[in-house]
Structure 1
């Protein structure tokens, strides 16, 4: 064939749902401990941390020095590279110190959900084989000390040494604070335990650490079955934090208010590590989420960025004292963690001065962010999509047979690249189910990619409602219900139905002081959305069941409605023909 008839080769078919993040900025090739040393060397006098509820302020030089003391102390207590240390606590300075000290010593940090009860704690500690645990004494209604004593009745050693048949791997229990409590080593004593020998051991281990070493185990929410431990490396989370910070244009003069839980990637990666890699200041307003504390902190500390899930921003906007706080220092931030209602996004941009706020999408298993909007994206793109692919990552959208679908067509989102976890800790079978032979992480999320490369999440595969053979995406209906002037938030699920297979149910939370009827909501829908998308069941509620990170637990909504209505239940796989 003559060469003038040969079609030019393109990198990929722009009509298909495949995108990859091209960037002139290379990936960071260092460990978390090395990144902290570098920040202290270049920005030692700048504030690294403000823990407002503890009245603690640390510069990068102070943080780096204290992290080294704690890391040496952990080695002196008998921990060594590759051991696991659990942290079970709300947000505080000790959490950050533990995160960075473990990384510096090559110890794997196991982040434990502050909402765990005894059986969940036992499961997580044993699955990960934690040799030590750092815990708060109490938080809200949780008595962590009492729960651990329930698993270790003979917890009496003043140095926190542990011997337990139920927790055979656990050797040390460390209580946050400086109080002497029988059976626990005070957190403040870790640094004091450091010796010349352990400091030498720390200096010796540093050059042996590799950025591909596992450094963090994060447990999935476990909405079905037992939680799985996503195993992440320095490379995974340090780079993801860096590129998240790049997307919101973080710099040394920025202060990021982070009311999101540190045990989750949103806090420990997108806040802590994004600030570390940009020598910015991370600010903890309170131990747990408190909308008033957030508003007070932003105003008092002149924070330039604010993070949160949609329910957090709603609580801040609707706080009765909202108007008295000066939020003019804000310019950017991140809304993520669950689907972000367009109406809420617009309110945040207009009323909180966050004109450069971004949306981020990801999952624990991908460190977490895959898509993020840019601060200069058109407003309509920032409020209606999750942005574009992050640098150095690939995403494809596939159908039920694994084929890439055309642009704009819903399908399962799969991610590949530096951010994908090593696997689930000690669970090769579940790892193989999640990560295929080509290295793609199958997220279980339904998404689309438009002609410009912007992603949109339309739901979860397990949340997809099939009514009379037609696929219905609850997210679409939720976004429509948000347009009703009385509706603050809405959640839509599918319920079993003998005629159609499934029917739609909407839980609706109204704005304060408002009232509405089911018929009023249906009338609002008529003529605006297809009749099959109008919810058959409507309930007005004061709140939604959710995880500590603010994710709505739709499976609980579904279970409650099935029980209340006396419907015949069947599992999701049967309901969805899978």
Structure 2
């Protein structure tokens, strides 16, 4: 375990010691194949900490990092941890309004950004900020081009991120109790909260995951493909560092690049979305030849059967659970479980007995028995500190016993694992029964005319009624509501039959660190409007 005192400095120091003792595995391998040894990375971190110090960043300052999965992201994270600064992680897909919210909420003193990538000119997006509401933002720095070539913004000169050992050394101010990370919540609102973690929680979780998931095996190799700006990308990376497994960096998600990296380097550990695994399987089944665990989160409706088929062929797919407040890969379904069970979200917490989970019936307020569905609550030494500068939201989410109330629906199994079913707001209580909308969606998706289906609930005459939205498999032959309703009536209990089936071109989505998420709230609004218009006709 390399986070010996639960600080980033201890993690790096232990990797350097292991290297000197004969462990020749690199800590990172860049996209072009360059191996970065622990000693070399330590030098880069020291130079980065000195650069931050030279630019006036001190303990407690917030540094917004707006970068893809580059080595510089990790250099900045470890350097900020050393001097006691806090990284505010920014999604590279965000645009000006979302960036402004994070800068304002975090009170970031410095923003470090990429000049441009294949999709975005970041300097232009920054130029559109309303600097009048960002009084704490004093410094801007660019990592991949000469900052002097970029025009100043709001009278702030653009620095070039150029760590240099000649800048000297910085004072170590970070401790296990020092805050280190601010993540945005991954909900679908326009104003996500900022989740704050300290170094202790990060270190404990990295150690737990390294041991629980085999990152400490001698042949373990991890591909970092999910963005570092979210817990799903960052937590497995830190677990690999804790376990001694080399981290292979892909700065962008490109499926052919991913497959090539996996095959060329015998990658054993992969974490990503359900859609990612489907794409890999379709293109090159041999990519899984060395896989020991393929942890996934379900972001794409309608892929359940395809994943079951892939798992049946021997791919070690395992469902996960995570949240910004608890970290990603908080739990993983054991690979020893039958396929149907191990493809469910949830699983066994990496922290073992140190993580306590209970399920509450929100109507009665009582705790649920095993196999009884309710809202999940968590208490673990890796829980977040709170929402940054938002005491009201913090007090609503963490109770007096220290449990985080997740608003996620699930249940406990009798083997010590748990199952995550859906967000509480996505579950429907129909005729008094708590109903997973997937039950309805899967029935409707059996019709060949339907590519994907999403079901939401709306109130009609004092009762919650389901409404289905479908995307056509063939735009020239759209699904017929009468046909789909007939199938639903023949298959489902009467209260699960949709009130309406509405054909749309695409589901409304929002960008998160893990990819696009469907905005159920917007679908509910559309369903209400559709229902009202039909009543008046």
Give the TM-score range, shorter chain: 0.7 to 0.9
The alpha carbon displacement at 1:146 in A equals 0.9
Correspondence for 1:402 among 347, 365, 368:
365
Cα distance in 1 between the residues matched to 2:483 and 2:432: 28
Cα distance in 2, alignment partners of residues 536 and 109 from structure 1: 47
Q: SS of the residue aligned with 1:444?
A: strand
Q: Give 2:325's match in structure 1, choosing from 365, 378, 384.
A: 365
Please tell me whether the aligned partners of residues 73 and 194 of structure 1 are also in contact (alpha carbons under 8 angstroms): no
- What are the within-5 Å matches in structure 2 for residues 356-505 of structure 1? 357-390=317-350, 391=352, 392-400=354-362, 401-478=364-441, 489-498=452-461, 500-505=463-468
Match of 1:217 among 182, 203, 220: 182
Q: 1:309 aligns with which of 249, 273, 290?
A: 273
RCO higher in 1 or 2 (8 Å CA, sep ≥ 6)?
1
Deviation digits for residues 501-548 of structure 1, max 9, x if unmatched?
432314357599998654554455454432322334335566542434
Q: Paired residue for 2:214?
A: 249
Query: CA–CA distance in 2 between the matches of 1:543 and 1:293?
Result: 28
Task: State the partner residue of 2:137.
Answer: 170
Q: Deviations over 1:484-514 (max 9, x none)?
A: 7786654322234347443231435759999
CA distance in 2, matches of 1:419, 1:450: 22
1:329-358 CA deviation, whole Å, 9 max, x = no partner? 22312102648954243234245x532x32
Structure 2 residues without counterparts, runs of 5 or longer: 151-156
Q: How many residues align?
A: 517
Instruction: Give the structure-1-normalised TM-score.
Output: 0.81
Write the mapping of 1:57-206 to structure 2, written as runs, cut at 5 A. 57-151=35-129, 165-180=132-147, 181-182=149-150, 183-187=157-161, 189=162, 191-192=163-164, 195-196=167-168, 199=169, 201-202=170-171, 205=172
Alpha-carbon distance in 1 for matches of 2:115, 2:231: 23
Q: 1:482 and 1:416, CA in 2 relative to 1: closer, same or farther beyond 3 A?
A: farther
Q: 1:30 to 1:453 in 2, by over 3 A?
A: closer
CA deviation map 1:135-171 (0-9, x unaligned): 112345432211212237xxxxxxxxxxx54421122
* Alignment correspondent of 2:297: 336
Offset at 1:449? 1.0
Hey, what does 1:160 align to over in structure 2? none
Q: How does 1:275-314 map to 2 (within 5 A)?
A: 275-287=240-252, 289-314=253-278
Q: Answer yes or no: is the 8 Å Cα contact 1:86–1:125 preserved in 2.
A: yes
1:6 is matched with: none
8 Å Cα contact 1:131-1:172 kept in structure 2: yes
Shift of 1:563: 4.6
The CA deviation at 1:450 is: 2.1
Judged with a 3 Å threshold, the aligned counterparts in structure 2 of structure 1 residues 471 and 36 are, in CA distance, closer, same or farther, namely: same
Q: CA deviation at 1:286?
A: 3.9
User: Which of residues 3, 17, 21 in structure 2 aligns to 1:41?
Assistant: 17
Unaligned runs of 5+ in 1: 1-24, 153-163, 570-578
What displacement does 1:430 show?
0.7
The separation in 2 between residues aligned to 1:306 and 1:514, in whole angstroms, is: 38
State the SS of the aligned residue for 1:386. strand
Name the residue aligned to 1:5. Answer: none
The secondary structure found in structure 2 opposite 1:535 is coil
Contact 1:397 1:447 in 2 (8 A): yes
Rounded Cα–Cα distance in structure 1 between residues aligned with 2:206 and 2:477: 41
Q: Distance in 2 between matches of 1:309 and 1:354?
A: 15
